[in-house]
Each structure stands twice: as structure tokens, then as C-alpha cells.
A and B are shown apart, each in its own frame.
Chain A
């Protein structure tokens, strides 16, 4: 059996599934096969109101990667916000820069918070190495402006997602836009001081630590088992004195 025959069988299984469980199994199998011909069916599965199947389809689309980007951008569902959120998640997971305009638009102005959330996250997971160096600066500026805006979204989860992307962008623009980096650190500090949501403030603090480990030793203490750290410290001190 060749790939195409296999694809037809797996696609038919999705189309003929007559229960939530069968649909989930069929989508999982099609996703696991990683065949390009399955892309439209996987995209359709994002709209079936079956979270398990949607997760499997997103994973499958991410694994297929670049060949799925164009169909995702074309078939994105303007009327079903559930499907749209999953499609945006797939684009975010693939990280292809061709999705940038779609992500910017969705993050700034979609009415559904799950779409804005997925798009805000996607702006931080783009694979910038695809971009020609001379174009990078203007794209980073666009994303920076968008994220500063999105980090004031009324919904906590969108602000949370924006923080994760400000974190990765801060690291990326250290090279391209070093003089703009303070805009990110200022925005994060302001969120830490004023955001009403404890979960968001906690994620901001985590982002700050990842961007700027100011006190490496204290930083380590948070992550490493304490006893071990103290041991090595003592050993070091002993060494240097000798």
C-alpha cells in the first residue's frame, strides 16, 4: 500500500466516524501518519467541537509543519471561533513566519479570547531564522508594538500569553533592537506592579527571571535543590582559601 492509499483509508475513517470516541481514534491515526494529503481533513477536524480530536489534529498539523501552513491560512474558519483558535494554535506550533499577519490580526482584534490567546502565544514562537536579516528589524518592531498592546487585553489569559511572548521577544531583540529592549522590561515591571490577576503577575515575575537573571546565585536557589547548592558553595570557598 502506498502513502496515498493509506491516506484515503485514514481520511475515510475520520469522515465516517459516528461517535466522539471513534472520531478521536480516527483523527489520532490520521495525525500520526503525518501525510500531507491528510491536511484538509485534519483542519476540518478542528471544527468538530471535540477537544480530544482537535488536540490530535493540531499535533498532527504541527508535525507535518510547513506544508500545512498555506492550507491553514486559506481554510481558517471565520465563523467558528473554536476551530479558529485551534488553527491559530497549529500555526503557532509550526512557527512559520508566513503566519505573521494572521497572528497579528487575530491577537489584536479577534472577539474570541481563545483565538487572541493562541495568537498572542504564536507571536512569541515564530522561527525568526527564516527571515532575511535586513527584514528582521521591521518585523520585530511590528511584533513588539502588537505585544505591548495585547498585554493590556481585558482577559487575564490573553495577557498571560502576551507575557510568554514578550519574554521570547526580549531575548530575540537584544540583537536587532537593543535600544527598544527597555520597553519590554518596563511593560513587564508595570504589569508586575498593577495587574489585577495573581496568575499573570506570577508569570511576569517568571519572565523577568528568565530575561534577566540579575543575581545568578539567588536565581539558582529557586531552581536547584538547596542542599546541593550549599555543598558546592562550601567546597568552592574552601578551595579558594587554600
Chain B
């Protein structure tokens, strides 16, 4: 008996501050400068997790983007990564400019976190900096290499460009539809849908839900939720993946309907999505 090759990551464990992690806001802010690097790292995560967007917290987390103390053997910056991730959740636009600075960091994961947080903050002022990073993989409007290029967090950059509606750069985004890594292709597809609203891109993601690998189906569920592509509703409900992920994806569709389509009444689409969600609970 070989149950399964894939391990389901628990998306469901609630965060309890069981092991001494119970903090006050003041403590967390102070801990960002603690002599104990572990406490700094945890404090940055904690402030983001509980969305402590008080000015003092935002200022302190922005300062942590320049940390030099916490380094991995490979030269990475763990505290900067956590700080960059937290700033997306804190929702304060003061962080935009410092995060743009992080796109030049030598640590891949800092650049990735910065791109994701810039997407969440939603300020298009970062588009040129994102394009500069994307262009590392391009010669004109073509991919430089048919080999997997892992030098930049292309998926995060593409997703940010889509969300930020960087329509004038869609030819550059489009090139990544051919990227050898499927996850990057999906990010490009999702961004192309956001930039053009052409159903062909939504449908390409729907087809990907029938793919072989669970890990990729999970990624596509997140993509479809992010773009709110209503015609995917049934395919989302039927794909072979955890209900938790399907529910998050369908919630994206539902909120898109309510936000963008029919603010005050229920569209047929919204009702259909809610009925599907009920059946997956």
C-alpha cells in the first residue's frame, strides 16, 4: 500500500501562541532589535500575522529591511525576508519605496517577498522596478533561454504585474507563457487574464486543473481564485485537491462577483458559487 506521494501541508492549524510566543505589540516592536536573532525573526512574522499596522510597528519593520545581523550560511537575510512579507500584510504605503529597494537585494527570497508584498500594497509606482527584474529573463520580447531560469522570482513578479494592471507591459508578460517551469507559465497566464480579460487565459488555467500533479493543481486553484474567473467554478469544485483549497478559490470567485459585478444583489454566478461552497464544507 502506497498511500500518497504528496504530503498535505496543514492549511488548517490555527496559530496559537503556545510556546512562549504570546507577545504584546510593544514587546514585538522591541524584539525587532533584540540581541536574540530568533526573537527578531519571530517578532517580524508576528506583527505581520496579526496585522499590527500601527505607525510604530510599520516604522520598525521597515527598519528591519536593512538588517545585517541575521544571515544564513549562504548569505541570505532571514529577518529581511520576514519583514518584507509582513509589510504586505500591514497595508501601509510607506513601505512601498523601501520594498522597491529590496528588489535589488542579493537574496532571492527577499526579492520574492518584496514582489509579493508590493502586489498586496497595490501601488503601481513599483511597476518599472518589477519590469527591470522581469527583463533579466528577456531579450526584447523573447525569453533568453529555453532552460529553466531560476535567477529571479518570476512567478511573484508576474502576479504582481497582473494585479497592478501593468497593461502596457503585456508583451513582456506574454513571453513567460512559454517559460519551461509550469508554475511560472501559470503565473503569466493569470497575469495575462488580468491584463486583457481574455477568456482564453482563464480557460488555460481551467485545463491545468486537470493536470497530473497535485502541487500544480493547488497553485492553479489559487490563481483562479485570485482572478475571480467565474466559468471555472465547476472545474474548481471537481478537481482532485483538498476542499480547503477549493473553498479559498471559490471564495475568490464569490468576492469578485460581489465586488465587481453586482454590489447589491446576488448574481446567478454568486448563488452558484455559494451552493458549490456549501457542498464542499
Q: Which of A52, A157, A164, A199 contacts B244 (CB 8 A)?
A: A157
Contact with B along A7-28 (1 / 0, CB 8 A): 0000000011111100110000
Q: Which residues of A pack against B, CB within 8 Å?
A: 15-20, 23-24, 47-52, 55, 81-82, 85, 89, 92, 111-115, 117-118, 120-121, 154-157, 160-161, 164, 198-199, 202-203, 205-206, 209, 221-223
CA separation between A221 and B281, bound complex, in Å?
A: 28
User: Cβ of B7: which chain A residues have Cβ within 8 Å of it?
Assistant: 49
Q: A112-B12, A121-B281, A160-B281 are in contact. Are A48 and B4 (CB under 8 A)?
A: yes
Tell me if B4 and A111 are in contact (CB < 8 A): no
Tell me if A15 and B1 are in contact (CB < 8 A): yes
Q: Which of B6, B16, B248, B258 contacts A202 (CB 8 A)?
A: B258
Surface stretch bound by A, among B54-62, B76-84, B183-191, B263-271 = B263-271
Among A120, A164, A199, A205, max chain B CB count under 10 A is at A199
User: Cβ of B8: which chain A residues have Cβ within 8 Å of it?
Assistant: 49, 51, 82
CA separation between A207 and B171, bound complex, in Å?
A: 45
B242 within 8 A of A: yes
Among A51, A82, A164, max chain B CB count under 10 A is at A51
Could you tell me the dominant secondary structure of chain A's interface residues?
Answer: helix
Tell me if B277 and A202 are in contact (CB < 8 A): no
Tell me if B255 and A199 are in contact (CB < 8 A): yes
Tell me if A155 and B258 are in contact (CB < 8 A): no
Tell me if B281 and A50 are in contact (CB < 8 A): no
User: Cβ of B274: which chain A residues have Cβ within 8 Å of it?
Assistant: 202-203, 206
Could you tell me the dominant secondary structure of chain B's interface residues?
Answer: loop
User: Cβ of A85: which chain B residues have Cβ within 8 Å of it?
Assistant: 12
User: Cβ of B127: which chain A residues have Cβ within 8 Å of it?
Assistant: none
User: Cβ of B13: which chain A residues have Cβ within 8 Å of it?
Assistant: 111-113
Tell me if A49 and B271 are in contact (CB < 8 A): no
What are 22 A-B residue pairs whose CB atoms fall within 8 Å in the complex? A15-B1, A18-B1, A20-B5, A23-B3, A49-B8, A51-B243, A81-B10, A89-B243, A89-B281, A92-B281, A112-B13, A114-B12, A117-B281, A155-B12, A157-B281, A160-B247, A164-B278, A198-B255, A202-B255, A206-B266, A206-B271, A222-B266
Tell me if A16 and B254 are in contact (CB < 8 A): no
CA separation between A114 and B3, bound complex, in Å?
A: 20
Say how far B26's CB is from chain A's closest CB, in angstroms: 23
User: Cβ of B17: which chain A residues have Cβ within 8 Å of it?
Assistant: none
Q: Which of A49, A89, A121, A222 contacts B3 (CB 8 A)?
A: A49
CA separation between A19 and B240, bound complex, in Å?
A: 15
Tell me if B1 and A16 are in contact (CB < 8 A): yes
Q: A157-B247, A223-B271 are in contact. Are A18 and B2 (CB under 8 A)?
A: yes
Tell me if B14 and A113 are in contact (CB < 8 A): yes
Say how far B238's CB is from chain A's closest CB, in angstroms: 9
B266 — nearest CB in chain A belongs to which residue?
A222
B259 within 8 A of A: yes
Say how far A135's CB is from chain B's closest CB, in angstroms: 26
B241 within 8 A of A: yes
A92 — nearest CB in chain B belongs to which residue?
B281
User: Cβ of B254: which chain A residues have Cβ within 8 Å of it?
Assistant: 199, 202
A15 — nearest CB in chain B belongs to which residue?
B1
Q: A157-B247, A222-B265 are in contact. Are A50 and B255 (CB under 8 A)?
A: no
B89 within 8 A of A: no
User: Cβ of B39: which chain A residues have Cβ within 8 Å of it?
Assistant: none
B251 within 8 A of A: yes
Tell me if B12 and A113 are in contact (CB < 8 A): yes
